[in-house]
Structures are given as C-alpha cells and as structure tokens.
Structure 1
Amino acid sequence: MTPGLAVVALLLCALAAMTGFRDAPNAVALPVRFRALTPRLALVMTALINAVGALLGIGLITLSVHYFTSPAVRGDVGPLAVGVTAVVAVLWGLLLWWRRLPGSTTHAVLSALAGAHLAVQLSLHDDLAGSILESVRVEVVLSLLLSPVIAWGLARLLTGPVVQVATTGTTVNVQRRARIALAVSAGAMAMGHGLQAGQRVGVLWAAVLLGSGAALSPDALTAEFVVVSVLFALAIALGTLGGAWRIAWTLTERLVRLDPLRASVAAVVPAGLLFVGSLVLHLPLSSTHTATAAIVGAGQTQTYASVRWPTVLRVGGWWLLTPVVCAALGLLGTLALLPLA
C-alpha cells in the first residue's frame, strides 16, 4: 500500500468511526429512554451488530462498485477526492454533534463527494454538463429525499392500529410488549445501519482501489481490501460505543415526547426501511433522517401536542444546509489540494 492510499484508508476509518458515533442514538435512544435496555448493554450490542452489518455491506458493494465510480476520478485525484470527502463529512458530523442535532452522514458524504467530483471536472476541463448528468443518479437522490417522508407516513399510519392491538391486557403486559419491541428494534436498526455504513465506506475505498489500478471483483478480492474492510468494521463498532448521548437526548426529549408503544413503532419503521434500501433497492438511505421522521410521525398521533415544532424546524434547517455546505467544502478543498496530485 502506498503512503497516499494509507492516508486515505485512515481518513475513511475516521469517517467510519464518526458514522458509528453519530448514528448510535438512532438505535439506542428510544430503547434506553424507556428502559428496554441499559445504556451499556445497548451500546455493546449495537456496536457488535454494527460491525457484522458493516462487513456484510462491504461485501455486497463489490458486485456494483463500477456503478459509483466515475472515469474522471482515477489515478492520483481519486484518493485525493475521497480523502477530502472523508474530512468534510467528519468535521460536519462533529459540528452537528456539538450542537446536539441529528444529521445525516450519508447526505454529507454524497454532497462532499459531488463537490470534489466537480472540482476534478473543472481541473480537467471536461464537459461539465455531460459529466455531471452522467454521474448523478436520479434514484439515489430520490431515495434520500423521499425516505424521510415515507418513514413519517408509515409511522403515522401504523401507530394507530398498533396501539389499539397492543393495549389489550394489563398495563404491565402492555409495557412489557413495548420494551420487547424496542429491544428487538435496536438490534434490527443496528444491522440495517451497519449494512448502509459498510456500503457507504466500502464503496469509497473500492473506488480508490479501482482508480489506482487494483483488480476488484467477487472473484478477485485483494488481501488489502479484506484487511481494510475489517478495520472499517472495527472503526464503526468503536465509534458506536461513544454513544453520542447529546443527540440521543434531542431525539427523546427535545424533539417529541412519546409513550413506549409509539416509541416502538417509531423504532421499527426506520429499521425496516434500512433493510429494504440495502438488500432490495440497493440504494443509500439515511438512518438519522428516517428515524427522526418516524419519531415525529408517531408523536403526531398522540391526543396532546407532543411535537416541539421549533426544534423540528431547526433540525430541518440544518438538514437543508448539509448538502450545500458539504458540497462547497468538497469543491474548495479539492481545488486547493489538486496541485499536489
């Protein structure tokens, strides 16, 4: 491995750790809030399942890595663009964590990568319009935009029937059912997030290897790719152990106040969507956006005003700001460092 590739691998490990750290609350916030799991057990379980899911996700992308790889981002500029993307996504994730805001690492990565790709096109004086239209995947954009709407709609639609069915019996039994559903959803959410995170980081690393001339196919996986993939999975697991409780507090206290049954619905819906996105549609989805939208949707079904709309609007404003800022930083950072390549 060349020094340049080693640096990119370390940056992607940092991105993987940040992904696990920031997205851990999506799986553990609700189960811990309603005492379905203890904080330590929830984080350890989520970290282990995240690592397994990441390895599976990285294995899946070897079948379709050319789908994401642009011929323009080859040679020395490929690792540079990916490295800038990782740095931008990590810094943006730290900023949102400091401000206690749930945000999408997926949106940050794709936006920064688009900005870096545009910088490469500008430096090569290629046909920008044709290149960008060829690289932009409409289905990817639609999946990222529509998945929160779908999560919100499913949570609102399913909460009523679930509450009616699950409230039969004593209060103790109702609480027990809700806690079981929350505990199971934490594991499912962790697996779905691991699949998505593994595919996200793995495809960046695979694109770097392809750009540097390495052979990558299901029949020709290099030892280098396998070893680095394990490092990515470990980084995701270690990041998950951090917990990011600042964001978890926002999801459970500042955004919406839920009862255990509605919380279980809000936890199951995004987990199911992540599985569909990874294994059926093969599209990137944001676990944070789907989880947050499902929590808001479930909260709106309560008879009292439980949704804190000022906080919801504030979170939505930062969501809209993410692609703009990350794309601009990816563009400027790549243009500044391109002379090195």
Structure 2
Amino acid sequence: MEWLPIGIVIALAMGFNYTNGFHDAANAIATSVSTRALTPRVALGMAAVANLFGAFFGKKVADTVGKGIIDAPQGSVGLLICAAALIGAIGWNLLTWWYGLPSSSSHALIGGLGGAALAAGATVKWAGIWEKVVIPMVASPVVGIIVGYLAMTAILWLFRRAQPGKVSRGFRYAQTASAAAMAFGHGLQDASKTAGVVVLALTVGGFHTGSEVPWWVLLMSAIVISLGTYAGGWRIMRTLGRRIIHLDPPHGFAAESTAAGILYVAGMGFGAPISTTHTITSAIMGVGSTKRLSAVRWGVAGNIVGAWVFTFPGAGLAAALAFYIGNAILL
C-alpha cells in the first residue's frame, strides 16, 4: 500500500493530538493558575514538558486503544475507519472547546472508533469497551469525588492549628509539584491513546506487525501533544479553575494530587484509558464540597456531566458520517 493514505491518517492523528493538548491543557494547570500558584505561561510550559515525559509511560493505554476497541479490516477500509474516527473526535473537541466545556478527548476518540467501525460493518469489541472504558468512565469520577473529599479533609485536619497565611503560601509552592504530576499523568494517558490509533492504522495499512509501539510513534505523539498543551485552552481553563468553585492553594493541591494518583493507577496498573477531564473535574468537586455542598456550582457541574454523556454518541455519529462521506468519495 502507498504511503500517502497512511500519511494522511497519521496527520489526522497528530491533528487530534494537538487539539487534545490545548483542549485538555486546563486539566493539569487550571487549579494552579486560578490559585495564582503559577503564572499561565509558566504553568503551560511546565505542563508541556511533563506531558512529553509522561507519554513514554503509557504503553498499556496505547495497547488498549490500538487493539482492545475495534477489529479494523486490513487495507483501505481499515484506514478509512481510522481517519473517520479521528475526524469525529477532532470535531467534537473543537465544538466542546468553543463552548468551554471540559469534555473527554479520550472518550471522543473511542466513540469515534466505535462509530466509524459500526458504519463500516467492522467488529466492535463491546466486552473490551465495557471493561476498559465504560466501567473506568463511571468509576473514575466517583473515586475522584470521594478521594478528593478525603484528601482535603485530611489536609484540613493536619493543618487545623497552623496559620492560614503560611499554609496557603506552602501549598502554593506544593502546587508546582502536584500540577506537574497531573500533567505527567495527562501525557501518560492521552498521548498514548493517539499512539494507539497510529499503531492501529500502521497495522491495517500493512506497515507494522507485532505488539510493540514504535518509538517514533510515541515520540511524535509526545511532542505534538506538548505543543498543543503549550498553546493553551483558556476557555476550558476558566471553567475548571473558576466556574465550578473558587479554589485556594490547599484545595488545588488536593485536587491535582488526587487526580494524578488515579491516572497513574488506571494507566500503568490496568491500561485503562480513563478521562483526565473527568478525573480532575470530579476531584475538584470532591475537594470543594469540604467547604459546603452549596459552595460547588452544581449547575455548571451538570452542564459538564451533560457534555460527558453526549461525548460517545456525538463523536460516534460524526465519525460515522465522515466514514459514509469518505466511502462514497474514495472507495
């Protein structure tokens, strides 16, 4: 098979990866910027570097996306499925970014793969999606809320006799580490998902065999998502950092540390491609609820959850439409 079709799919994958970077940049740094622990550009630069390194630790996630979601046929149809899935995911990312909704780029990609595969009559591995995607999708926000609440409760108890000013300054410094840890987890999860789609495309195109993820695929995914992260996603950053709840440095540290821990366990332990967006948003809700339940703007949270619910079908329908159009024109 010629290199042009596979080159187009890889270019689309990197386009998705770039939108993933600026769409999800807020995941790592919104709380640090909103608490003034870091300036926006310093935070973005740090997140970009941490994204770059995190990408090399997500092979299990790449394997899940590349092999555990669909069985794409060899040849032109398989490549068209990959291309349509990426077009659907890019479209969903841009739509939710425009409206400032922190939806999941991960689930947009997986929904796109499922929608394109169904349109092509290919096999969708529903058992794998249920085990590796749906269960973690539901569990990670619940865990984020509970662990975030417990982590913040522990911080409040440990520092209950300390001077608030000193505590705030100390956690402002600590947020540099927690934000970097969150960005590392974002790279581990999200750059690896794109790498998984590239490997899938290389496999169906006849350019790759075996289970290894080529080093150049990981490197390219890592660099592009880092560039996207540095570009920033200011619309979504405002939603996460300010509109859900007003955060101070201890709350920001607790939310970032909680989310980072969940990303590491899911990615390196189980190879589950969970949403960094869902994880940090739910951790912010859990941490914020220690103030009082009414402190969380649940209306904003409800709009975010609505975007989560529609991500799978929205990206899937867009991908299916892209496949039908591409099939009519090219095949």
Q: TM-score, normalised by structure 2?
A: 0.92
Q: Is the 8 A contact 1:159 1:262 kept in 2?
A: yes
Structure 2 residue aligned with 1:337:
326
Q: Structure 1 stretches of 5 or more lacking a match? A: none
Q: Structure 2 stretches of 5 or more lacking a match? A: none
Structure 2 residue aligned with 1:107:
107
Q: Is the 8 A contact 1:168 1:174 kept in 2?
A: no
| Residue aligned with 2:295, SS | coil
1:48-102 deviation line (CA, Å, top 9, x unaligned): 1111212332x55676677426444321112211111111111111111111111
Deviation at 1:258, TM superposition (A): 2.4
Structure 1 residue aligned with 2:74:
74
For residues 252-291 of structure 1, the aligned pairs below 5 Å read 252-291=241-280
For residues 1-341 of structure 1, the aligned pairs below 5 Å read 2-57=3-58, 59-60=59-60, 67-68=67-68, 70-121=70-121, 133=126, 136-217=129-210, 225-303=214-292, 305-339=294-328, 340-341=330-331
Amino acid in the other structure paired with 1:5: I
Q: Is the 8 A contact 2:132 2:273 kept in 1?
A: no
Q: Distance in 1 between matches of 2:126 and 2:133?
A: 13
1:224-243 deviation line (CA, Å, top 9, x unaligned): x4434322221101100111
Deviation at 1:177, TM superposition (A): 2.5
Q: Distance in 2 between matches of 1:93 and 1:158?
A: 31
Mark the CA change 1:189 to 1:294 in structure 2 (over 3 Å): closer, same or farther. same
Q: Distance in 2 between matches of 1:69 and 1:36?
A: 39
Mark the CA change 1:280 to 1:209 in structure 2 (over 3 Å): closer, same or farther. same
Amino acid in the other structure paired with 2:24: D
| RMSD of Structure 2 on Structure 1 (CA) | 2.2
Greater alpha carbon shift after TM alignment, 37-46 vs 297-306:
297-306
Q: Is the 8 A contact 2:60 2:271 kept in 1?
A: no
Mark the CA change 1:248 to 1:69 in structure 2 (over 3 Å): closer, same or farther. closer
Deviation at 1:263, TM superposition (A): 2.0
Q: Distance in 1 between matches of 2:259 and 2:76?
A: 38
Q: Distance in 2 between matches of 1:169 and 1:69?
A: 50
Q: Is the 8 A contact 2:89 2:319 kept in 1?
A: no
Where do 4+ consecutive residues of structure 1 move more than 6 Å? 62-66
1:202-255 deviation line (CA, Å, top 9, x unaligned): 110111111122334467x7xxx4434322221101100111111111112211
